[in-house]
Amino acid sequence: MYLITVLGNLLIVLAVSSDSHLHTPMYFFLSNLSLVDICFTSTTIPKMLWNIQTQSKVITYVGCITQMYFLTLFGGWDNFLLTVMAYDRYVAICHPLHYTVIMNPRLCGLLVLVSWIIIVSLFYCTVLAVYLSSAPTRTSQSSAITSVMYTVVTPMLNPFIYSLRNKDIKMALNNFLGMAGIKGTIVLGLKRCL
């Protein structure tokens, strides 16, 4: 699931950045969401996979606090990017004639920056309160299932929900993967000639 999450989201980032037709606010926010989802899952899942492989549940205090900081940071940014994307679609639907004027590149960059600032201030305090509080009624199995749901499943599904059902993204992915295949064939052909 982790590899599908990283690969799916990475493909979205590469497709949007490589296709100039997708350099619009909606796809700018989608590629940022995909990048954040990669970072979000990469804060906990590699350590979890390592713990499962080694049958060790040890983490240092500094490692735990660092992991919680980045999980909160990227989790908050993920939520605010979804809010910004909702605003973008609101402007596109309710004010279509003014869309390009309202959603200019400066505003898009500012909205992403504000999302970061609000990743840090709002969610940092609330998530710390939840994770540092003692909850005797929660079992470790229910906590693990809940954690996997919001750290792996949701970011894994985001590329399918937001991007891969979109015909523009599909065309960009086909073009990107086609170019990668052609370049790979050329490289392999050159290596054979050498």
In contact, 36 and 78? CB cutoff 8 Å: yes
d(CA 107, CA 25): 9
What Rg do the C-alpha atoms of the chain give, in angstroms?
A: 20
User: What's the pLDDT score for residue 189?
Assistant: 54
d(CA 46, CA 42): 6
Across 155-189, b (16+ Cβ under 10 Å) vs e yields: bbebbeebbeebebbeebbeebeeeeeeeeeeeee
User: What's the pLDDT score for residue 16?
Assistant: 87
User: What's the pLDDT score for residue 100?
Assistant: 87
Q: Set out the domains of the chain in order of their start, with CATH numbers.
A: 2-193 (1.20.1070.10)
d(CA 21, CA 18): 9
Instruction: Record the pTM.
Output: 0.68
In contact, 167 and 12? CB cutoff 8 Å: no
CA distances from 156 to 3, 16, 26, 166, 186 (A): 9, 18, 20, 16, 32
User: What's the pLDDT score for residue 112?
Assistant: 80
Angle at 33 between CA 32 and CA 39, to 5 degrees: 90
Give 77-102 pLDDT, tens digit per residue.
Answer: 888 888 888 899 899 999 999 888 88
User: What's the pLDDT score for residue 191?
Assistant: 54
In contact, 6 and 36? CB cutoff 8 Å: no
Query: Which residues of the chain fall below pLDDT 70?
Result: 116, 118-151, 161-165, 179-194
User: What's the pLDDT score for residue 145?
Assistant: 63
Residue with tokens 């295949």: 181
**What DSSP string describes 107-159?**
HHHHHHHHHHH---HHHHHHHHHHHHS--TTS-HHHHHHHHHIIIIIHHHHHI
- Would residue 135 be called left, alpha or beta, if left means φ above 0 and alpha means ψ between -120 and 50 degrees? beta
User: What's the pLDDT score for residue 167?
Assistant: 78
Amino acid identity of residue 56, one-letter, is: S
User: What's the pLDDT score for residue 156?
Assistant: 75
User: What's the pLDDT score for residue 49?
Assistant: 86
User: What's the pLDDT score for residue 187?
Assistant: 47
User: What's the pLDDT score for residue 39?
Assistant: 92
User: What's the pLDDT score for residue 180?
Assistant: 60
